[in-house]
Structure 1
Amino acid sequence: MALRGVLFDKDGTLIDFNASWRAAFETVALELAGEAELAKALLEEGGWDEASQTFRGGSLIAAGNSADIAEVWTARLERKQDPQALADWMDRRFAEMGALHAAPLFPVDRLFVTLRDMGLKVGVATNDSEAGARASLGAIGALALAHFVAGYDSGHGPKPEPGMIEAFCRDAGLAAGEVVMVGDNAHDMIMGQTAGAGLLVGVLSGNSGPEALQPPAHHLLASAEELPGLLCSLS
């Protein structure tokens, strides 16, 4: 089956995860904790690794969504909060800071234009909120070039559930087998595999190593910027 669409993960795939999100998570953790030691504990529980100065691949922060994080962090806070209310607040703060600190891994707008010129529909699916995704993509000049944007709260379910790929297919008039799923975490590959995506491409620009992506990834790339070359080689 011919490939007619590409669905990208956002953070770690199009946007530098640590450069874009470390300051945001440090700020939010400190605002919630009210003091440095508890804030540090929240970040470590979320997946921060002090030795490598990165968030671990597949960790709560690297792979989860605000609802997942709020559920875990609420149990650690002295001032108890409703997890859903906390997740909503976090989404608003992350949308603000994500747009402010968004650091593209490469010229994302150029990649999207190249893929569109190849006749492919381009979408973005993230475990960030949809508002956060749109804010970040807008900040790097890529939002208007995406045919489809979905977050964990768009009504299609979070990763690794297959709903965001299924919604992309409905929106773009594609079959799942015509879609390339590109991401830097295992949940991206599992989502693509479960949905029946035609090609699964893992990228090593995020927080996961090859062992976390392949299998089920069919191909590994150092960067999503290399995707047009891969697709040309497969055609």
Structure 2
Amino acid sequence: MTASPIKAILFDKDGTLLDYQRTWAPINRAAADLAASGDPALAAHLLSVGGMDPESGQTSSNSLLAAGNTDEIARAWIEAGARFSVGELTAALDTLFTAAVSDAVPVTNLVKLFRNLHERGFRLGIASSDSQAAIEGLVERLSLTPWIDFIAGYDSGYGVKPEPGMLLAFCEAMGVSPAQTAVVGDNPHDMNMAISGGAGLRVGVLTGTGTRDVLQPLCDVCLPGIQTLATDIFENIAASRT
């Protein structure tokens, strides 16, 4: 881990705050059905293109469905046979993904975790390849608004992962340097955003599609999940600042 004092933490959403398999396996199937206009063979093909096994429901790390944004998914699926324009399918998928926050499954008690980190003095943000509206809907639904200082989606104007724009925008908004910022995520896209943006600490978690073998070379520390962040990492950092 870096010796630089961490003052802010930027979280990925899906696979980090939310259990990827329990939350997104049914949503991905619904999205493929929508894009395939009810054609089951095409829907299965679109899932495969997206990196999800149509039979098992498992999604590959760093695949389109694991790490891509809605525009990227729409373009790939249209190329694979979906009969929509890019604008039509992107809008339809964004609507589906935003509505799906009602069925999201958190990996832990996020209110307790974020309140704990906030009380320790950390500024907190969420950066996702989902839309800003979907992130805002999730934050509201899970009662996280008092502790979230920043939200960035693929359509927020900061660029997309693994580019560093979301991280740099978070740092600017919080008045901290990238070296004072930790990035927490389940996917190489998250870690590569952190690397390209110069984040001071990269934390990989295993509640999404990324495996330890995939994440370990890219992160400073790899945890089973964010459940132990406050005690395993940030408690020590907070203590070192006092």
What TM-score bracket applies, with the shorter chain setting the length? over 0.9
Q: 1:76 aligned to 2:70? A: no
Q: What is aligned with 1:114?
A: 116
From 133, 136, 157, the counterpart of 1:155: 157
**Partner-residue secondary structure (3-state), 1:69:** helix
Q: What is aligned with 1:216?
A: 218
CA deviation vs aligned residue, 1:78-136 (integer Å, no higher than 9, x gap): 63x22133212211221012x22111010111111011111000000000011111112
How far apart are the structure 2 equivalents of 1:85 and 1:118?
Answer: 44
**Partner-residue secondary structure (3-state), 1:149:** strand
Kept in 2: contact 1:28–1:90 (CA 8 A): yes
Q: 1:38 aligned to 2:42? A: yes
CA deviation vs aligned residue, 1:160-198 (integer Å, no higher than 9, x gap): 000001110111111111101000000100100110111
How far apart are the structure 2 equivalents of 1:52 and 1:32?
Answer: 20
Q: What is aligned with 2:193?
A: 191
Q: 1:24 aligned to 2:30? A: no
CA RMSD after TM alignment: 1.4
Kept in 1: contact 2:35–2:82 (CA 8 A): no
Percentage of identical aligned residues: 37
Per the TM alignment, residue 216 of structure 1 is displaced from its structure 2 partner at its CA by: 2.0
What amino acid sits opposite 1:62 in the alignment? Answer: A
Q: TM-score, normalised by structure 2?
A: 0.92
Q: 1:206 aligned to 2:220? A: no
Structure 1: 5+ residue stretches without partners: none
Q: 1:57 aligned to 2:61? A: yes
Describe the shift of the 1:51–1:78 C-alpha distance in structure 2 as closer, same or farther (beyond 3 A).
closer
Kept in 2: contact 1:20–1:102 (CA 8 A): yes
How far apart are the structure 1 equivalents of 2:82 and 2:51?
Answer: 21
From 8, 14, 18, the counterpart of 1:15: 18
Kept in 2: contact 1:19–1:101 (CA 8 A): no
Q: What is aligned with 1:87?
A: 90
Q: TM-score, normalised by structure 1?
A: 0.94
Query: 195-204 vs 32-41, which deviates more?
Result: 32-41
Structure 2: 5+ residue stretches without partners: none
What amino acid sits opposite 1:30 in the alignment? Answer: D
How far apart are the structure 2 equivalents of 1:35 and 1:100?
Answer: 26
Per the TM alignment, residue 211 of structure 1 is displaced from its structure 2 partner at its CA by: 1.7
Per the TM alignment, residue 51 of structure 1 is displaced from its structure 2 partner at its CA by: 6.0
Kept in 1: contact 2:25–2:57 (CA 8 A): no
Work out the number of aligned pairs and report it. 233
**Partner-residue secondary structure (3-state), 2:195:** helix
